[in-house]
Amino acid sequence: MKFKTLKRDQPLALDVFPTISNLKSQISNFKLRASRACHSVPPSMETKPSGLSFFARLGMAFSCFGRLLGSSDFAQAVAPLLDGTTPPPASVKPEPARPAAVAAAPVAPRPDTSGLTVLAILQREGRLIDFPQEDVAAYSAADIGAAARAVHAGSRKVLSQYLTLEPVLKDADGSTVSVPTGFDARRIRLTGEVAGQPPYRGVLKHHGWIATDVRFPSVSDALDARVIAPAEIEL
What string of pLDDT tens digits covers the 235 residues of the chain? Answer: 444 454 555 454 444 444 555 555 656 665 565 555 555 444 544 444 456 777 777 777 777 777 767 777 777 777 777 666 655 556 656 777 777 777 777 766 767 777 888 999 999 999 999 999 999 999 999 999 999 999 999 999 999 999 999 999 999 999 999 999 999 999 999 999 898 999 999 999 999 999 999 998 888 888 888 899 999 999 9
- pLDDT for 182 equals 94
The dihedral region occupied by 218, where left means phi > 0, alpha psi between -120 and 50, and beta the remainder, is: beta
- pLDDT for 113 equals 76
Query: Which pTM was predicted?
Result: 0.49
- pLDDT for 12 equals 46
Distance CA 147, CA 119 (A): 18
Distances in Å between the alpha carbon of 136 and those of 128, 139, 140, 142, 153? Answer: 14, 5, 8, 11, 19
- pLDDT for 153 equals 95
Contact 195, 170 (CB under 8 A): no
Distances in Å between the alpha carbon of 59 and those of 26, 28, 93, 166, 181? Answer: 10, 8, 36, 105, 106
